[in-house]
Amino acid sequence: MSATITATTGGPFARIYGFGSYRPTRVVPNSELVDRIDSSDEWIQERSGIVERRWARDDETVVDMALAAAERALADANITGEDIGAIIVSTVSHLLITPSVSSIVAGRIGSRGAALDISAACAGFSYGINMADALVRAGSAKYVLVIGAEKLSDFTDLDDRGTAFLFADGAGAAVVGPSDIPGIGPAVWGSDGTQAEVITSTPRRPRRTDPVLEHGDTRPLLTMQGQTVFRWAVAEMAKAAAEAVAAAGIKPEDLDCFIPHQANNRITDAMIKYLGLPENVTVARDITHMGNTSAASIPLAMDALRAEGRLPTGGLALLIGFGAGLVWSAQVVRIPG
Ligand SMILES: CC(C)(COP(=O)(O)OP(=O)(O)OC[C@H]1O[C@@H](n2cnc3c(N)ncnc32)[C@H](O)[C@@H]1OP(=O)(O)O)[C@@H](O)C(=O)NCCC(=O)NCCS
């Protein structure tokens, strides 16, 4: 028999140690967008729940936002960059093919850990948490930094009635590490590439009124079949959320908190109804002030609840992300603190 190879094993389980987020300072109210899309503040609020969103400064990048969120998550977890054995950044809005956001962030926080970016759109943070859980338990890394960071304003068509008011910018991060008891439940995750075209991106067409394009802007623009996505989310994602609760071995009434991807308050309402969530379960509605920040929306929403003093620390939270791909991911986690 040939020699056997040594394999690693990590902590028996994993948990979230701490988290943090970054919100750009520029607040963009609905009133700033409605004229170009023949819409109104009332329509946007009623159909999506969005009152305002944040956009990064022109000179502010996905890397800048990811780093700011990462530093806050590390401080919250009481862990230094040197302790981080792997960094997973989920983003669909980094402007460069290479280097990755994760490797730049690793260098800036003083980590020499493995660094990779993933593209799982609005499911990216939940994908990252699932991957971190697996890495920690396998012993591939002791502490994993998971970041969702987006500058979707770079890819938003301000003349598109279906998306101009939706997308926004920000970042959120969490540190995952070993635990004696399970702090991250099994993920219910997957993809349906047969629906890849319902949220996609198309090359920009130069418009005379767009000064940036005259200088050769090649960024594509996000396009979405809103109603199709809406119906899919209400029908299929509510089921995935229920499966994640069952997979964690708990019942909806055992949850303390529900932090869905911030896509539309009406989708959130439909999930609450399907799950039969009791009134006392805290529900994240950060979309009201942040719009849809894709991979960043779940950790941003978690941090907003904490800032409002409404986060049930030590309790159980159901996370679910879903979006372009189509892809989805849901799991129950124990909130640190
Ligand atoms: C985008 C979204 C808010 C649009 O809401 P909707 O109710 O589906 O809107 P519709 O496209 O069906 O349009 C309804 C009506 O409003 C009009 N309308 C569309 N956009 C409008 C706008 N921005 N302002 C005012 N009216 C608008 C339409 O013309 C239509 O008018 P009609 O009934 O006279 O034909 C909704 O589809 C949505 O949230 N989809 C899911 C998005 C999502 O979850 N993305 C996550 C993945 S990242």
Active-site pick, 122, 130, 257, 265: 122
Active-site pick, 130, 257, 261, 264: 261
Residue 28's pLDDT band (boundaries 50, 70, 90)?
very high
Could you tell me the distance, in angstroms and rounded to a whole number, from the CA of residue 37 to the centre of ligand 1? Answer: 12
122 given a catalytic annotation: yes
Question: Rounded to the nearest 5°, which phi and psi values hold at 130?
Answer: -65, -45
Closest ligand 1 atom to 48 CA: 3
Q: Is the CB of 43 under 6 A from ligand 1?
A: yes
User: pTM of the prediction?
Assistant: 0.95
Q: Is 13 exposed, middle or buried (0-12, 13-18, 19+ CB in 10 A)?
A: middle
Instruction: For each of the domains in the chain, give its residue range(s) and CATH number, in order of start.
Output: 13-179 (3.40.47.10), 188-334 (3.40.47.10)
Q: What is the pLDDT of residues 94-143, one digit of tens each?
A: 998 899 999 999 999 999 999 999 999 999 999 999 999 999 999 999 99
Are the C-beta atoms of 66 and 149 separated by less than 8 Å?
Answer: yes
- CB within 8 A of 76, min separation 6: which ones? 17, 18, 19, 20, 175, 336
Question: Which residue is listed with tokens 């198309």?
Answer: 202
- Average pLDDT (161-182) is 97
78 given a catalytic annotation: no
Strand partners, 176: 16, 144
Closest ligand 1 atom to 322 CA: 47
- Average pLDDT (62-72) is 98
292 given a catalytic annotation: yes
Q: Is the CB of 37 under 6 A from ligand 1?
A: yes
Residue 207's pLDDT band (boundaries 50, 70, 90)?
low
75: pLDDT strictly greater than 80:
yes
Q: Is the bond preceding 326 in cis, omega lying within 30 degrees of 0?
A: yes
Are the C-beta atoms of 36 and 158 separated by less than 8 Å?
Answer: yes
Closest ligand 1 atom to 292 CA: 48
